Structure 1
Amino acid sequence: MNALPATPRVAEWRTYRRLAPYVRPYVGRLAGVLLISLLATASGLAQPYLSKLMIDNALLKNDMAALVAVSGAMIAVTLGGFALNILASYRHVALSAAMLYDIRVALLRHLQTLSPRFYGGFRLGDLMSRINSDVSDVQRVAGDTVLSALSNMLFLIGCVGLMLWLNWRLFLVGTVLVPVAVGVFLQLQRKVTMLTREMRERGADLGSLLVDTVMGMRVVAALGAEEHEAARFRARNSAFVRVMLRMQVASFMAGALPGTLLAASTSAVTLYGGWQIMHGQMTIGALVAFSAYHMRVFSPVQALLGLSSGLASTRVSLARIFELFDTAAEVTEAATPLPVGPVRQGIRFENVAFRHDRDAVLAGVDLVIPAGSFCAILGESGAGKSTLADLMVRFLDPGEGRILVDGHDLRTLRLADLRREILLVDQAPYLFNDTIGANVAFAVGETTRPQIVAAMAAAGLEPLLARLPRGLDTPVGERGMALSAGERQRIALARALLRRPSVLILDEPTAALDAMTEQRIAEGLREALPAATIIVITHKPALARHADMVVTIEQGRAEVGAGAVIEHALA
């Protein structure tokens, strides 16, 4: 498995090009939003110049008509800018939400291709942090930042142009400290970026601990470990808070120091502009307009500096997201996969070997499971029984050898078809936080309540339905915890029976059941799926009595019942 690096690098700036596929479908609509935003920006630029006209052409000349005209223009520009800003904001939020959906769906589809070994070695809290917080951060850059940067850049260019037109000497005085402010900001930004990375990691540590504690609450209560968990939470929370406070200080300094330098230039503009008015080199209206533009030019400069800081911060999220995207799937579909129909001949293992990291699990397995047979695979824990099941549904691929279905290598078959025809029920089934009926009919498509009830009856759930007042509409709770372990197993079995696969693999299907229920389910499997191949992986010899063939796997030797040949050795 391609594991994520222990200390991922912060993404380089060119990594932002990887966002292009998520922005490209919306370029046309984003251009429309940009045009609206530019018109709103132009209305904002008109206000200070209207102030100049009011002072120089109306107030100082006692011209009432000019005063009325300028006042009317101010109202029109204000209302127009207000409407344009609302429209741009509304359209942009809709587009940003669509881009967020696309990024999350792409990530979810990629995660669905990763093997169970990936999820067995990855912290759930960290994974959820990347899907939620980090994707939201990336989406904000993909949508908000581009629009904001262009809008602020236009406003900055407009302000600079108008200030140069009004008084180029005063412009030089008012902007001399800007390069210094930018330099200070860039120095502090590097520290903020590194602290942001560290804060995300500490947040993921905290989230993983909370997920672990909540999911293991029964164990915590049973062992009286409440104080132990509180102490662990306190330690990780303290580490998170320390980094957060350091980042807050660095962020404040990154904003305050450049802002202070820029504000100092305002005093210089006031002094030099006043001197020019006293010597007849500038009108009062021109100084008022210039000062308004000068004060407003701080806003886009600070906004662009903030966007730069935000982009640097988002590089952290970008790195964490693309680490998931760059995690290669262990199982990939062929370029032109073959369709799969109902299994008619059977499943054949040819010299199959498999390792979990460096530990050999299977080596030299040759096995034939004829179509329509009831096969029981016995063996102690860790012998490789569950690995055989994962190989048959292509959660994993063998390191050596091949597995054939009706004479075709599994690696040449269409995955969706394969997993429709060969269905695995895990030994620890997962139930969604929904009703019993919804769990049984999960992702089946159109189905009827009688069909759901029939599948549950075949799984031995008639007594459960009889005693529940709400029947199929009974909620199962988070991860099915409102039900017993045996009931969860049988609901997962009913979910499989409803799909009527041609091969049904059951991994320890009766581990939490009593002998009588186990007997009833074993007898009902063949009745429910009379033509299917049924493979039961179990450590209970009693269940194997119902099988046509029995494969017993033990370290160093194998015993095979009638109808199959297997050679199996553990390395």
Structure 2
Amino acid sequence: MHRPTRPAPRTTLRHPRLRPRAQGTGRLIPPATPTPAPTVAPWSTYRRLWPWLRPHAPRLALVLLASLLATGLNLAQPWISKLMIDEALLKRDWDALLRIAGLMVAATVGGFAVNALVSYRYVAISAQMLFDMRVALLRHLQTLSPRFYGSFRLGDLMSRLNSDVSDVQRAAGDTLLSVLSNVLFFAGSVGMMLWLDWKLFLVGTLLVPLAVASFLHFQRRMTDLTRQMRERGADIGSLLVDTIMGMRTVNALGAEAHEADRFRAANAGFIHAMLRMQTVSFLTGALPGTIVTASTAAVIVFGGKQIIDGTMTIGALVAFLTYHGRLLAPVQALMGLTATLASARVALARIFELFDTSAEVADAPAPRPLPPVTRAIRLDGVTMHHGREPVLRDVSLTIPAGSLTAILGASGAGKSTLADLLVRFLDPVAGRITIDGIDLRDLALADLRRRALLVDQSPFLFNATIAENIAFARTGALPAEVAAAAGAAGLDPLIARLPEGLATRTGERGLALSAGERHRIALARALLRKPDVLILDEPTAALDEATERLVASGLRRALPDATLVVITHKPALADLADHVVRLEQGNATIQPQVPAHV
């Protein structure tokens, strides 16, 4: 086994009082704060969709042109009805009736075909756009530090990823296209009505501004109420996530009734917000709709008077009434889309709030690649805190290349924070960490995390087979390589007991297996990647001493030249190390030692 060539210097670390650890993780996190409720989203929020719309702009332009054609065909139908009445029926012209009827059929079929094409193409484009947005959001979330996930409510996060993105997709795939079609049809209907009879147009549109004003008033109320309902829904989601993930605690404490009462209270808040939104939604359509009906009655009275006076033909009035109905239909449709548009605006604001959360750790503008690691890892004057008192203060130490270094200390001594710093889940507030003489902040993150791997003390397993968990994100890993990694992690006795061996499923979050078995699978996953630096946070906490020694010996055989950093509170494991760092309240001792036989 490789040994350090000379003793590392003795170092003293000043260590202030620490805040409580996140339950079950050992990680130090800032106190959880409620997610701030987004303000009412302005219409300008939709402008932020442009980066995802830009790649599809040429195809969207074609869809717009096709929509204009469809609108023109639909607008021609009332005019064709006028010709049928005035030029064919009233004049008893059979040939004209056949020609006009054929024209009507052609316009109707053509409009249907173009509308179907426009709808199909637009939905396809919007679906691709929203997929790009989902991927961008996922990639952004992957850049955020563990502190973000320690302080953000999981239920609220899932609500934004699922419900909010789905609302935006519905709006982009249906509502926005409907808005475009209705606006175009509204403009066309106005033009045709003015051409037919401008006086009748004034009578028919006299009350429209009042209808629009009432619509805008209730629309603002709908946006605010939609936000409130979304927040109450997120409260329910967060409560359910907490209850389900903590079900063992709930059952152990006999707190089932208490959790049901909490759920009942959260659900009551959601229902109250939903009923208020439903009331305003009804008023949004009912009041403007009543005003619209009154304007239609005025058109019939005034137009009928013109027919009696002989200043307007029956066909012209029929065409005008058709355009008038179609004029108000887009207005009513836009009013009916209020809830969807309001929900989409709120959803966009909540999604962009995630996009606006800055990553604590990012690649340098021109990151340096990291070749195979052959030199020591050094901490020079490293200070780290999580918004309050420092967890680590002015730490300087060396982890020799190729050594097995054990980091010991009581709970809360900063061991896991140190592990996070070594793989740049966090950056130090002061000082620097170098590997091969290069500051970690100058390295490409992908290179660093390919060369240096961290196995958490609470490893996550996917609901897949043991083999799939070991080979996760390693497409092309051979079965023999997976089996070798499993053996090096001490999994052979487990695999031999299971009827399906490596093909056994681990269950949700790996809970079909014991804690020690989950640790060994996570360790095998790391060994398969053959890193130059392997950092293990409490890797044998759930193992007995014999299995602990088996795992330790397998580590060195699998990675004979790697730098191994083991964070532990078990002196027995430290006895196997070349190099020990003892973190204690107020000081740390760094010393080489002769390891026990592995």
TM-score normalised according to structure 1 size: 0.96
Q: Are the counterparts in 2 of residues 99 and 143 from structure 1 also a CA contact under 8 Å?
A: no
> Could you tell which deviates more after superposition, 144-153 or 59-68?
144-153
> What is the CA–CA distance in structure 2 between the aligned matches of 1:29 and 1:144, rounded to whole Å?
17
> What is the CA–CA distance in structure 2 between the aligned matches of 1:80 and 1:221, rounded to whole Å?
65
Match of 2:352 in 1: 322
Shift of 1:315: 2.5
Match of 1:343 in 2: 373
Q: Percent of aligned pairs with the same residue?
A: 66
Aligned equivalent of 1:287, options 317, 326, 350: 317
Relative contact order, CA 8 A, sep 6+: which one is greater?
2
Aligned equivalent of 1:398, options 428, 437, 451: 428
Shift of 1:199: 0.7
Match of 2:542 in 1: 512
> Following superposition of structure 1 onto structure 2, how do residues 433-444 of structure 1 map, counting pairs within 5 Å?
433-444=463-474
> What is the CA–CA distance in structure 1 between the aligned matches of 2:305 and 2:408, rounded to whole Å?
97
Offset from partner CA, 1:277-309 (integer Å, 9 cap, x none): 111111111111111111111111223345566
Q: Are the counterparts in 2 of residues 103 and 139 from structure 1 also a CA contact under 8 Å?
A: no
Shift of 1:72: 1.4
Shift of 1:560: 2.2
SS at match of 1:352: strand
Match of 2:112 in 1: 82
> Could you tell which deviates more after superposition, 165-174 or 220-229?
220-229
> What is the CA–CA distance in structure 2 between the aligned matches of 1:430 and 1:141, rounded to whole Å?
35
Give ranges in structure 1 of 5+ residues lacking alignment.
565-571
SS at match of 2:365: coil
Q: Are the counterparts in 2 of residues 429 and 492 from structure 1 also a CA contact under 8 Å?
A: yes
Match of 2:78 in 1: 48
Shift of 1:5: 6.2
Shift of 1:253: 0.5
Q: Are the counterparts in 2 of residues 353 and 399 from structure 1 also a CA contact under 8 Å?
A: yes
SS at match of 2:361: coil
Offset from partner CA, 1:438-471 (integer Å, 9 cap, x none): 1100112311111001000011111111122222
> Following superposition of structure 1 onto structure 2, how do residues 242-321 of structure 1 map, counting pairs within 5 Å?
242-307=272-337, 310-321=340-351
SS at match of 1:551: strand
Please say if 1:170 is aligned against 2:200. Answer: yes
Please say if 1:456 is aligned against 2:486. Answer: yes
Shift of 1:3: 8.0
Match of 2:142 in 1: 112
Match of 1:224 in 2: 254
Q: Are the counterparts in 1 of residues 491 and 517 from structure 2 also a CA contact under 8 Å?
A: yes
Shift of 1:559: 2.3
Q: Are the counterparts in 2 of residues 391 and 397 from structure 1 also a CA contact under 8 Å?
A: yes
> Following superposition of structure 1 onto structure 2, how do residues 56-205 of structure 1 map, counting pairs within 5 Å?
56-142=86-172, 144-205=174-235
Shift of 1:14: 2.8
Offset from partner CA, 1:458-509 (integer Å, 9 cap, x none): 1111111112222222211111111111111100000000000000000000
> What is the CA–CA distance in structure 1 between the aligned matches of 2:139 and 2:387, rounded to whole Å?
25
> What is the CA–CA distance in structure 2 between the aligned matches of 1:4 and 1:281, rounded to whole Å?
69
Match of 1:567 in 2: none
> What is the CA–CA distance in structure 1 between the aligned matches of 2:292 and 2:260, rounded to whole Å?
47
Q: How many residues align?
A: 564
> What is the CA–CA distance in structure 1 between the aligned matches of 2:173 and 2:464, rounded to whole Å?
35
Aligned equivalent of 1:541, options 557, 560, 571: 571
Q: Output the aligned Cα RMSD.
A: 1.8
> What is the CA–CA distance in structure 1 between the aligned matches of 2:499 and 2:60, rounded to whole Å?
53
> What is the CA–CA distance in structure 1 between the aligned matches of 2:214 and 2:226, rounded to whole Å?
19
Q: Are the counterparts in 2 of residues 468 and 474 from structure 1 also a CA contact under 8 Å?
A: yes
Q: Are the counterparts in 2 of residues 23 and 143 from structure 1 also a CA contact under 8 Å?
A: no
Q: Which amino acid aligns with 1:458?
A: A
> Could you tell which deviates more after superposition, 302-311 or 315-324?
302-311
Change (3 A) 1:18 1:177: same
> What is the CA–CA distance in structure 2 between the aligned matches of 1:97 and 1:301, rounded to whole Å?
27
Q: Are the counterparts in 2 of residues 4 and 323 from structure 1 also a CA contact under 8 Å?
A: no
Please say if 1:207 is aligned against 2:240. Answer: no
Please say if 1:352 is aligned against 2:421. Answer: no
Match of 1:568 in 2: none
> What is the CA–CA distance in structure 1 between the aligned matches of 2:433 and 2:41, rounded to whole Å?
40
Offset from partner CA, 1:210-267 (integer Å, 9 cap, x none): 1112222222223222222111111101100100010011111111111110111111
Match of 2:40 in 1: 10
> What is the CA–CA distance in structure 1 between the aligned matches of 2:63 and 2:37, rounded to whole Å?
39
Shift of 1:310: 4.3
> What is the CA–CA distance in structure 2 between the aligned matches of 1:410 and 1:469, rounded to whole Å?
45
> Could you tell which deviates more after superposition, 140-149 or 114-123?
140-149
Q: Which amino acid aligns with 2:295?
A: S
Q: Are the counterparts in 2 of residues 96 and 140 from structure 1 also a CA contact under 8 Å?
A: no
Offset from partner CA, 1:391-427 (integer Å, 9 cap, x none): 0000000111110101111100010000000100000
Match of 2:530 in 1: 500
Q: Which amino acid aligns with 2:66?
A: I
Please say if 1:331 is aligned against 2:361. Answer: yes
SS at match of 2:592: coil
> What is the CA–CA distance in structure 2 between the aligned matches of 1:563 and 1:94, rounded to whole Å?
65
> What is the CA–CA distance in structure 2 between the aligned matches of 1:313 and 1:40, rounded to whole Å?
28
Offset from partner CA, 1:19-63 (integer Å, 9 cap, x none): 110111111111122222222222211111111111111111111
Offset from partner CA, 1:130-161 (integer Å, 9 cap, x none): 11222233344556555433322221111111
Shift of 1:547: 0.2
> What is the CA–CA distance in structure 1 between the aligned matches of 2:60 and 2:379, rounded to whole Å?
54
> Could you tell which deviates more after superposition, 189-198 or 5-14?
5-14
SS at match of 2:37: coil
Q: Are the counterparts in 2 of residues 184 and 257 from structure 1 also a CA contact under 8 Å?
A: yes
Q: Which amino acid aligns with 1:295?
A: G
Give ranges in structure 2 of 5+ residues lacking alignment.
1-29
Shift of 1:112: 0.7
Match of 2:7 in 1: none
Aligned equivalent of 2:442, options 392, 406, 412: 412
SS at match of 1:29: helix
Match of 2:12 in 1: none
> What is the CA–CA distance in structure 2 between the aligned matches of 1:347 and 1:397, rounded to whole Å?
15
SS at match of 1:561: strand
> What is the CA–CA distance in structure 1 between the aligned matches of 2:364 and 2:262, rounded to whole Å?
46
Aligned equivalent of 1:31, options 57, 61, 75: 61
SS at match of 2:412: coil
Q: Which amino acid aligns with 2:52?
A: Y
